[in-house]
Chains A and B, each alone.
Chain A
Amino acid sequence: MPTSPSSPTPLHKRKAEKVDRLAELMGSRTDEGRASGIWIDAFRRMRTNPMAITGAVIVVVFVAVALFSPLIAHYSPTSQAWGDEVFPNRNEFVGPRAENWLGLDHLGRDLYSRFIIGARQTLLVGVVATLVGFCFGALLGGLAGACAVLGGRWGRRVDNVIMRVIDMMLALPTLLLAVTVAALVGPSLTTVMLAVGIAQIPIFARLLRGAMLAQGNREYVLAAQSMGVRRHKIALTHILPNSMGPVIVQSTLTLATAIIDAAALSYLGLGNPDASFPEWGTMLAEAQRFLSTAPALAVYPALGIIITALGFTLLGESLREALDPKLRK
């Protein structure tokens, strides 16, 4: 948990004078001697953590592959150029060879190209879904937190209403919530992003609210209040920035679950209705029919999903550990 009172953003420079005064009042600048100490400190510790390095490498490779996939892929992912060379009705598939690095799928499409382009879809879905969850979650959680800390009686009521709604969402299993949303909206890529994103909202909301409540009892808030700083300003420029740490860590972890959930939704047929366009979950669903005869068709997308999710989880977990004040040296 971030305990430093200072914000690491440019906001800090713009409002240097005021924040400095606050920081002085609380005397916490002596903690590390620097305003942005906590993040640099976390980074230093992660540099020596093998878990973090593994996670970071996986994530960097995955993001690079996804971003440059059109350059890396050899062929169009939808082209059935080798359609007359595979015979799914006789279980005759084409394995890896010089022109098709991973072989061909059941319709004679290049598996390597589909896998690479699929990475891009997966990243897109993961990032957008996480952003949806992050933005709406932060909005709701931030509002509830601010109201609870500074809003008095009415504020606590607003907080109560928001949090009960969030609790209701939290009561539903993530995937079930996502499936429900997808079923209501109809299958499409946007649906998957929205569905997975919406399912993540309550986690972000609760987390941010919790962090803000913890900050609300701190002396610098009291000090700001006593100095007559307006309440919405305290919430936005003091409490919120100091509460964002855990939420940012959560985003990394959420990316992992978002990728898995998105794959699951596509697997269930609620994803991109144009199944000829690759997405790892869809590829997995397609390959299911040929599991006993051509397991490789399922292995590639499955490994893709597992390794990517693992990468984001490792990175997120080590970031969380690095930021945890209890584990500080």
Chain B
Amino acid sequence: MFTKSSRKPLGLVAAAAALALVASACAESDRDASGMDEDEPFIFAGAGEITSLDPFLTNDGETFRYARQALEPLLDHESGGTEIVGGLAEDWEQSEDGTEWTFHLREGAVFHDGDAVTAEAVCANYDRWYNLAGEFQNANNSYYWQAIFGGFAENESDALPESRYAGCEAVDETTAVIEVTEYSSVLPGGFSLAAFSILSPSTLEAIEDEEITGGDGDFTLPEYTRDASAIAGTGPFTVEDWDQDQNSVTLERFDEYHGEPAGFQTMILRAIPDENARLQALEAGDIHGYDLVAPADIEQLEENDFQVPVRDVFNVLYLAYQQESHEALGDPEVREALSHAVNRQRIVDTIMPEGSEVATQFHPDTLDGWSEDVRTIDHDPDLAREKLEEAGHEDLELEFCFPAEVTRPYMPAPRDIFDVIAEDLQEVGVSVEEVSYEWTEYTAQSENGNCEMYLLGWTGDYNDAYNFIGTWFSTHNDAWGMDNQDLFDDMAEVSSNPDEAERIAGYEDLNEQVMEELPGLPISSSPPSIAFAPEVDPPNVSPLTQELFAEASWQ
């Protein structure tokens, strides 16, 4: 609740604050447009703070942004695209049945602490994750491991599935073979996740006995996740410092990096939650770039010579109906009625950035598996009212959650989107109870099924439909409260089909099934923007929001 006050001076009365803002918004930037000193730190602002220096324990984009610069997973994506290319492994092969993955590591690569990159080091990382126990097995602390590999060596909860990971073998110095029990379309994409960044053997040894303390929903991550000197990877930057009070992570160029050296000597990643504050910081020259530009600010920035590259569309925003939280939401007729009430076109036209589209299904049309034949839901308040009446819910009261104080790549102005949808719902006679949480709490509340309706979205991690629909609809979970066993079975069958053409046809069918079930209403897919100062030669922007800042430099 206090988040809002933290970014505004309390001592100012509202009117004075408004006037001050007018003044600062109008103030001319005093940046020096001429060449920059090479040692000048490049400062980039994200919308949120990072949560852990060990990316394995998290699933948030801000942490992964840091991890992409300092650490490397086995595979990567092509710069500015979604195609999978070599990362720490120069190239790789897969066996025909997709259960054996052979990685050829880069020769001569070294970790930040001087350790050599060997197949054994890679296997040590994967084996560590596989053998994690205790609170590490909670979905909050090993989200992506569970999404890609299922369970652990010794599952401590019955809810965890058997692990898909079968072992890792160092065939020679630079060849590692990872075996999985069955083919799954999540691979090789899974190997490219920042969560699976390879840490040095010395780091692993040092953190071996660290434990997560605290109970469900309130974990304290181990000490090493806050200690910059504890983490050594192979990325183009080393981690120098994480100042939690200032919300900033300092990275230094790693001179022995195996690829092209980074363009900046020093890079600082800061967190500025408020989008106006980010804009003003850039205009004032306090930072040299920031992510998640408000659609309305793009024009102003471009007029002032800032660079605002737009990413390709690779996300979806949706309105979720938690089916177990309210008896009415378990009724497909009610979900359909609510969906007819929402004017998605208006959200896309008036709130989303240019190039956005109304989403017809739960992933963008840039992904294979997108179906043209899904059931479409038109904006039709009369039909919505009629259907609610038929279902006996003309006086429906629903709790509707949205995140306060945040912008996400798929969701530029949550409050506005909420206001529009709430008004649409009230129009058809649904009373909406407004609930808002600060971002971290919001994701926990919605994931634990504590919101009847909520706004959320997803940016793809890699080019596979399962990364979207499989994330939500492959098993019963508290986020959706959906119990459609047929859909879950089909999902498992399709995603483990090694035949690509069949798999894609399967995804199309799954998308149609999901829209019949209508667990939520996909709202839009939109292209998020990122801004840079004129003196920066920016990196290629990535639809996956995985920019590599080593590519960037001073002009």
Contact = CB atoms under 8 A, between A and B. Distances in A.
Contact of B420 (A80, A89, A288, A302): A80
Contacts of B13: 175, 260-261, 263-264
Contact of A269 (B5, B17, B18, B275): B5
Contacts of A284: 14-15, 18
A302 B19 CA distance: 9
A276 B422 CA distance: 10
A198 interface: no
Contacts, number: 121
- Which 3 pairs from chain A and chain B are nearest by CB? A269-B4, A89-B295, A267-B14
B434 interface: yes
Given A183-B2, A186-B1, A274-B434, A89 B8 contact: no
29 contacts: A78-B423, A83-B423, A86-B350, A88-B351, A88-B413, A91-B296, A107-B423, A173-B11, A179-B5, A183-B1, A183-B2, A260-B14, A263-B13, A263-B15, A264-B14, A266-B14, A267-B14, A268-B5, A268-B10, A269-B1, A270-B5, A275-B415, A284-B15, A288-B18, A289-B294, A291-B21, A293-B296, A295-B22, A302-B14
Most central of A88, A273, A285 by chain B CB within 10 Å: A88
Contact of B276 (A186, A266, A289): A289
Contacts of A88: 295-296, 350-351, 413, 416
B25 interface: yes
A84 B350 contact: yes
Given A89-B295, A186-B1, A263-B13, 13 more contacts: A87-B349, A88-B416, A89-B353, A90-B354, A107-B423, A175-B13, A176-B10, A269-B404, A275-B419, A298-B18, A302-B14, A305-B14, A305-B15
Interface residues of B, number: 44
B350 A288 contact: no
Interface in A84-127: 84, 86-91, 106-108
A302 B18 CA distance: 8
B350 A290 contact: no
A292 interface: yes
Contacts of A79: 423
B220 interface: no
A278 B41 CA distance: 44
B25 A291 contact: yes
Interface in B211-246: none
B308 to A, nearest CB: 14
A83 B342 CA distance: 13
What is the predominant secondary structure among interface residues of chain B facing chain A? helix
Contacts of A80: 419-420, 423
A309 to B, nearest CB: 8
A175 B10 contact: yes
Interface of A: 78-80, 83-84, 86-91, 106-108, 173, 175-176, 179, 183, 186-187, 260-261, 263-264, 266-270, 273-276, 281, 284-285, 287-293, 295, 298, 302, 305-306
A90 B295 contact: yes
Given A83-B350, A83-B420, A267 B17 contact: yes
Nearest to A276: B419
Given A89-B350, A186-B1, A292-B300, A281 B18 contact: no
A84 B25 contact: no
Contacts of A302: 14-15, 18-19
Nearest to B17: A267
A173 B349 CA distance: 45
B26 interface: yes
Interface string B169-181: 0000000000000
A90 B415 CA distance: 17
A260 B346 contact: no
Nearest to A187: B1
